[in-house]
Amino acid sequence: MQTITNISQEILEAFSTGEVTVVPITLFAIVIGAIFVNNVVLAQFLGICPFLGVSSKVETSLGMGMAVTFVMALSSIVTWCLQEFVLMPFGIEYMQTIVFILVIAALVQMVEIVLKKVSPALYQALGIFLPLITTNCAVLGVAILMVQKEFTLITGVVYSVATALGFALALVLFAGIRERLDVEDVPEALRGVPIALITAGLLAMAFMGFANVVALP
């Protein structure tokens, strides 16, 4: 059975030669890397606004994580298709950012309409942060990284979903810790934002323990 080190070496060689194949080992490494090693919030510092703003309750954080996962999964498919079949063939790659933002904005509007009908309580709890998914740099960042890493459609979707799950995991863990802190005797000078930032830093340090599990670019 291959060790994690051997798996990591194979992945690095595949990326260095540009021959990334859709095999279980590669997909497994992408999932582990996106969730734990290169967590979009704790390692790449993308999506900090909702991470700090919607993490007061676990229930709200879970809803936000699911909404972001849905948007990331759909946006990765749409943006990849647009990049491959529209932007590149017509030589207008320079419009990538604008096109991707428009796609993400449309998908967020769809999620907002669905949540308003299906779960009004969650819609009210998310408040202003739901429309802010449109400008969530994590969603746009994943779409751009997919293109830069030259992922295929399958690996790109796996990467985007895994990244969204990593975002949701960090958000829920952070919300759980903050809920516990609300009932603890925290020094007055550290209450609120200061203790939240300290907690986020400690959580990021904890995730650094996964740094050598698998290597991804």
Q: Are 96 and 89 in contact (CB under 8 A)?
A: no
Residues whose CB is less than 8 angstroms from the CB of residue 204 and which lie 6 or more positions away in sequence, other chains included: 42, 43
Burial of 21 (0-12, 13-18, 19+ CB in 10 A): exposed
One-letter identity of residue 78: V
Per-residue pLDDT tens digits for 128-185: 777 777 767 889 999 999 988 888 889 999 999 999 999 999 999 999 998 988 888 8
Instruction: Summarize the confidence of residues 49-74 as an average pLDDT.
Output: 85
